[in-house]
Amino acid sequence: ILVKPRKSELPDLGYPLLPFEDYCEFLFQGKSIQLRFGKSIQVDLIESIPENWHERVKKQGPDEVWLDYDLLITPLIVRGRRAGDRLKPMGMQGHSQSLQDFFVNLKIPAQLRPFLPLVISGDEIVWVAGLRPSEAYKCGADTKRVLKIKIINSQNYLRAGEKPPD
């Protein structure tokens, strides 16, 4: 049970969170989208793919995703969830799943679900930021250009009660 005054901040529990529940913003190269608690989403287009890109993708954490740029419909949009949202999570061989089931399976707290950023291409979710990308937009042998989207943590931001690093 979470008890808090209506206007107080939710704890982030390490997840990237949108500034408010009905947030919706375009995401494109050169623009940074500010999230709560000093986090932001940034995007870069990689025109020439490095030779060792497979190894680099394998080492990525949940805060970075490489997508096949030529499969995307731009501009991308960052928004919160909507009724009926579905995605094709990486590792499910293209099968779709309701966003609600996805959150329940990952045990995402209900109070955070409306604030988790979704990166949208056309009408499809391409990345649940900080969690998992869509299988439909993953890089493959035919990938010529990569869109790298990353969650950045500000070095200057401290949460309430945190002490600055020594």
Task: Classify 110 as helix, strand or coil.
Answer: coil
Strand (E) or helix (H) holding 118: strand 118-121
- Sorted by sequence, the CB contacts under 8 Å of residue 161 that are 6+ apart come out as none
- Sorted by sequence, the CB contacts under 8 Å of residue 91 that are 6+ apart come out as 132, 135
pTM of the model: 0.84
pLDDT band at 155 (very low <50, low <70, confident <90, very high): low
User: Is 14 within 8 Å of 61 (Cβ atoms)?
Assistant: no
pLDDT at 48 exceeding the cut of 50: yes
pLDDT at 42 exceeding the cut of 80: yes
What does the pLDDT read at residue 53?
A: 75
Q: Is 127 exposed, middle or buried (0-12, 13-18, 19+ CB in 10 A)?
A: buried
Give the pair of three-digit tokens for residue 14: 């390490």
User: Is 77 within 8 Å of 24 (Cβ atoms)?
Assistant: yes
What does the pLDDT read at residue 158?
A: 44
One-letter amino acid for residue 40 of the chain: S
